[in-house]
Amino acid sequence: MPPRRLRACHECDWVAALPPLRPGEKADCPRCGHTLVRRHYRAAQRSLALAVAALVALALGVSFPFVSFQVGGIGNRIELTQTATTLIGFHQPLVAIVVLLTIVVLPAVYLLGVIWLQSGLMRGAPWPGSRALARSLDHLNPWMMADVFIIGALVSLIKIAGMAEVQLGTAFWAFCAFAVLLLMTTQSIDGDWMWFTLAGEPRAPQGTRPGERAAGQGITGCPTCGLIGRLDERGRGQCRRCGERLRARLPHSQQRTWALLAAACVMYLPANLYPIMTTTSLGHSQPSTIIGGVVDLWQMGSWPVASVIFVASILVPVGKVVALAWLCLAVRHSDELHASTRTRLYRLTELIGRWSMVDVFVVAILVALIRAGSLMSITPGPAALAFAGVVVLTMLAAMTFDPRLIWDGPDHSRPQHLEEVAHDR
C-alpha cells in the first residue's frame, strides 16, 4: 500500500493524513474543519470549459452596450469599461484603476491563466511557466469582484428606476453570465490534483507525525501547493515542489494587521464625513454621504436596497475592523476550547470583506450613466477614494493575519524558531 499523503492545515497547523478521495469528496482538517483537499471529476476539462465560456461572456460584456437611460427626451448609453474610464475625467484615477482591475483586467488574466494551465495538463505536457502561473492563481482570486459589481449594478438601477427609463443592454446579461461562470471556474480548480500532475508528490520530511502540530515538528505546509516542508532553525524554508517561501508563522502578522486596521480607521472617517457622490437635478446639486444615501433610499421606500447598502458599507467594514482587532487581542489568551469559534470568525471576515466594494461600484455606474447636464447628472465625491481604500486595507489586514496564532495559545510550548521569527523579516 502506498504511503498516505500528509498535509499541515493552514488555519490551525495540524498535520493530517489525506484519505483516498473520489470525485465530489473532500478532506477536512479533523481539528478545525478547514477543507484541506476537494476532489473534482475531470478537473482539467471542467475548468478549461468554464474558463473559455467565461472569457467569451466577458468579451461580449465589453463589446456591447451595458445599460442606458432616458429622461425628458435626453438619455445616455454606456459600455462596461466606461464605468471606470469616466471616473478619470472627474479626477478619480485611482478609483478608476480599482474598478477596471477588479471587474475586467484581473478576471481576464485569471481566465487566460487557467486556460493555459489546464490545456497543458490535458495534453500531458505542461506549457512553459505553468508552475509560476499556478502559484499566481490563488493570489488573484480575492481581488476579482464581478459578482459584487453585478449587485452594485442592480442597486444603481433600482436607485434611478423611479427617475428615468432604464434599458438593460446585451452586455449587462453577458456580464451576469460572466460573473456566474467566473465563480464556477474558481470553484472548479482542484489544486491538489493540479500540483500532483504538474510536479508529482515528494515525500513529507522523514519523521513527520500526523495528529500533532506542525510547528512542534519543525515543519509547515506550503500555502500554495500544500506540500509539507522542513524549516530551518529560524523558521524559514522553501517548498520543494512549487518554490514558495515557507514560514513557521507569517512574519510580524499581528503588527501588520494592527497597522492596516489603523490605516483603515483613518480612511473610514473621510469616507463617511465627505460626500461619496453629488446629484444634480434641474440645476440643483445635492451631495450625499454613504449614510445619507441609505436614509434617502429608506425614505423612498427602497428598504431592501437601503439594507444592502447599510450592511455592505457600514456594518461590514466596521464589523471586520472590530473582529480582526479582537482576534489580535485574543491571540495572547487563546485556548483550544475557543479557538474553533475564533477561526470561524476569521473565515467570515475573509469571506465578506470584498462585498463592501458595492458602494464604490454604485458610484462608478451612476457617474458614467447619469450625464444629462443640468437636467440630471451625478459626479463622484472625495469619499469614493477613501472608501475604496478602506475596503482594500481591511482585505489586506485579513490576509496578513495568521490564523494559526489562534491555535498556538500561551500554554502551548513553542519551538525557538517561532520566537525568533518575530524579530526577523
* Per-residue model confidence as pLDDT tens digits over 276-292: 988 877 667 788 888 88
Of 382, 384, 385, nearest to 363 (Cα)?
384
Q: Which pLDDT does position 373 carry in this prediction?
A: 65
Instruction: Give the bridge partners for 166, in sequence order.
Output: 69
Q: Is the pLDDT of residue 1 over 50?
A: no
Q: What average pLDDT does this structure show over 339-353?
A: 90
Confidence band, pLDDT 50/70/90 cuts, at residue 357: very high
Mean pLDDT (whole number) for 338-345: 89
pLDDT tens-digit map of 12-52: 999 999 998 899 899 999 999 999 999 988 889 999 999 99
- Name which residue leads in pLDDT, 299 or 121: 121
pLDDT tier for residue 416 given thresholds of 50, 70 and 90: very low
**pLDDT the model gives residue 409:** 64
* Position 2 pLDDT exceeds 80: no
Domain ranges of the chain: 6-39+201-240, 43-189, 251-425
97: pLDDT strictly greater than 90: yes
Check whether 66 has a pLDDT greater than 60: yes
Q: Which CATH architecture has domain 251-425?
A: Up-down Bundle (1.20)
Work out the average pLDDT over 187-201: 90
Tell me the average pLDDT across 245-251. Answer: 90
Is the pLDDT confidence value at 62 over 80? yes
Q: Is the pLDDT reported for residue 421 higher than 80?
A: no
Model pLDDT, residue 38: 92
How confident is the model at residue 412, as a pLDDT? 45
Query: 250-274: per-residue pLDDT in tens?
Result: 999 999 999 999 999 999 999 999 9
- Mean pLDDT (the chain) is 88
Above 90 in pLDDT, residue 157? Answer: no
Residue 219 has pLDDT above 90, yes or no: yes
- In the predicted model, what is the mean pLDDT of residues 400-407? 93
